[in-house]
Amino acid sequence: MQTPSAEGTLQTGPDAAPRATEILTLSVSGMRCDNCAASISSRLDALPGVAEARVSYSLEDARIRFDPDAVSPTALIEAVVAAGYAARPASRSTSDERDAEAARLEENALADGRRRMWTGIVLSALTGLLGMGPARLGLPDFPGRLPLVAVLAAIVQFYVGRDFHRGAWRAARARTTNMDTLVSLGSSTAYLYSLTALVLGLDRALFPVYFESAAMIITLVMVGKVLETRGRREASGAVRALLAQQPERARVERDGETLDVGIEEVRLGDLVRVHPGERVPVDGVVESGETHVDEAMLTGESRPARKRAGDSVHAGTVNHEGAFSIVARAVGDATALADIARLVREAQASHAPIQSSVDRIARIFVPAMIGLAFLTGIAWWSFAAARFLPDVHPAAAGLLFAVSTLLISCPCAMGLATPLALVAGTGVGAERGLLFKSAQALEGTGDLSAVVLDKTGTLTLGRPRVRASTSTAAFKERTVLAYAAAVERESEHPLARAILAYEAEASQHAIEVGATSGAQADPGRGIGARVGERDVLLGSRRYLEARGIELDPLASAAKEAATRGDSSVFIAIDGIAAGHFAVGDSADPSARPAIEKLRSLGLGLTMLTGDEPASANAIAKELGLSTDCVFSNVLPSEKAKFVRELQSRGERVAMVGDGLNDGPALASADVGIAIGSGTDVAIEAAEVVLVKDDLAAVADAVVLSRRTLRTIHQNLFWAFGYNVAAIPLAAGLLVPLFGESMRLSPGIAALAMALSSLFVVTNSARLRSFDPSR
């Protein structure tokens, strides 16, 4: 059994201490439509200790967050089984093995479905030929023709359609209804009525038999299910395609020997050799050698990236021309490739807000349609048949219209409309380095009206460097630099790394300034520490002036830095202004065209930065942003406040950032978008992660989301529009107006229902070839 993974807390009351929860993922088989998933989810949610149950019909799994002290994994499985479905814990094997197992089960199910589908097609054709041939085609009649038709229809009914009857029985036991209820009820009613008429020898003119319609119902719905299964399989193929990129074996150097081992045998710290043309087997850091690596399957970037000693490489990427060695840093499920696959799976298993509305409708739709079919049958049997269909017995007419209404109202298309499009959309995103963590993030990205952009690392290259340094008369420049470096070693800020790099390049002889202690950082402002016997402050103008430091001696240096678009970092030693560093970062060459594309999508753009206004405006001018869109001297906490202010004005806001101090704003935004090279805090807080460091990917994410939403809306329009238009026809409401020619047979009703599902499947499949960058 899979060991549940720890995740989150559960609060059971206002005064209760939160308890740790765990995640259990189950493989669930036997689901026939989205109503089945809703039924399982309701059962699981009703169990004490279950915080959340997400059941996906598309992925055939259940992801349950629960309190292990209140409910056991065994009880969760038993609840699914009690609902009439088979469940087992997802395998503990590696991601690619799990995916191979899922692919094998899907292929077996698809092969069985195809086998029964073709059986149904052949037998339905024979049933139709024998049943209607003598009357309509002038074929010779013969004794025993109708009993033979009944036998052939029975094979279709109970062999080809066995899963529909099983699904209906499971739903009945669970006191609910689903798509199978309608199909089983409709086809069984048509078959059993026809069999009764045949056995009792009733007049065929008054009591026409519908053996061929009963067979056609099962067969056409079976064709729809096979197409649906294939569509779901292809739509979720992005994860399989990603994981297929990881090699099964690796060359590992141990004790002076090169060993060819299975990928599961590679250990952290192993030295792995990669030859030209091979895929990198694990995540690692280049130890020796130089080459170019094709990272398109992770980032969507078509140009190979140059790799040399110290650079990171990832599993699944392709080595081009040179052999190199890497030190393994992540293997198996810990690789970036496995992380991406996990994110995509979780997104595909989640429910978009629009799906919740569809689920509520679908939950009452089936019982409502059963009631409508019953009333339709009663109406035709009691008074309508005698007036409008005098040649048909009222009971037979009532049965005809009741069965047609049941079949044509089958909500297959409704249940598939949203999940198939979402699975296809998240798959397309994964292939292009756009990772949506949830269906809600994918839907929300398409509804955006404003985008807030952090400057450093988002609009710039994120590689700041010191372009000039100045010291006051009271201090030597080398001394100031040594104290600055001593304090900045305690910081993770990009500007701190720039000063440390500058110190390393400039200092030929290190100056001993003593140990650093008591470092206290004020995020977005600066840092203070005790270095040896001196108190040192390092940071922005506001940070030092708030502590009473007079910065007039450095005013000219700061002004000159601002005119170049550089950021100013001031240093004070023992309360006296000591020096100034002009730190500059180049605008990202891809940022300007990306900004233009975002504007063309109708999005309002804002740049937030902690820099002084002059330097912020200089970067904005280079990127083509007006000064009205630039907000400078913004603290990390103020970024989140700014986002909330935009939201209060009715804007749907995305925050794009990559830094530690962007976390609160990313979490506050309607959609947080993190650049892939960003900090772990940014990536964790964001709902969308861009694998490649390219702002154009933000526009691609918006375009993909809007296209996915458009596909969902098209699917839903067809599904609902089809039912609105088709149900009155099936119920015979047009017969009094236009005559008997508007009578819809059960077989034609089944065909219409199958075509409705086919449209949704094929329309969603079109999304898989969509390229959002074009």
User: Catalytic residues, which ones?
Assistant: 454
Placement of tokens 């087997």 in the chain: 281
CA atoms within 13 A on the CB side of 530: 4
23 three-class SS: strand
Nearest to 99 by CA among 415, 435, 348, 265: 348
511: exposed, middle or buried (Cβ count in 10 Å: 0-12, 13-18, 19+): middle
Amino acid at 653: V
As given in the structure block, the two tokens for residue 169 are: 């029985």
As given in the structure block, the two tokens for residue 404 are: 């047609």
In angstroms, the CA 160 to CA 215 distance is 9
How is the beta sheet containing 688-690 ordered, strand by strand? 434-436, 688-690, 671-675, 653-657, 450-454, 604-608, 630-631
508 three-class SS: coil
In angstroms, the CA 564 to CA 41 distance is 59
8 A C-beta contact, residue 477 and residue 514: no
8 A C-beta contact, residue 96 and residue 243: yes
Placement of tokens 């093995």 in the chain: 97
Nearest to 525 by CA among 546, 510, 511, 504: 546
In angstroms, the CA 335 to CA 562 distance is 42
- Helix ranges restricted to H, 295-352: 296-299, 336-349
Nearest to 160 by CA among 126, 137, 130: 126
In angstroms, the CA 15 to CA 150 distance is 67
Characterize the bridge pairing of strands 653-657 and 671-675: parallel
59: exposed, middle or buried (Cβ count in 10 Å: 0-12, 13-18, 19+): buried
Contacts 24+ apart (CB under 8 A), 385-388: 387/736, 388/732, 388/735, 388/736, 388/740
In angstroms, the CA 273 to CA 281 distance is 9
Burial letters 256-289, b for 16+ CB under 10 A, else e = eeeeebebeebeeebbbbbeeeebbbbbbebeeb
Element containing residue 55 per DSSP (H, E): strand 50-56
Q: Which residues contact 490 (CB under 8 A, 6 or more apart)?
A: 516, 519, 521, 527, 529
8 A C-beta contact, residue 37 and residue 83: no
How far is C-alpha 572 from the chain's CA centre? 49
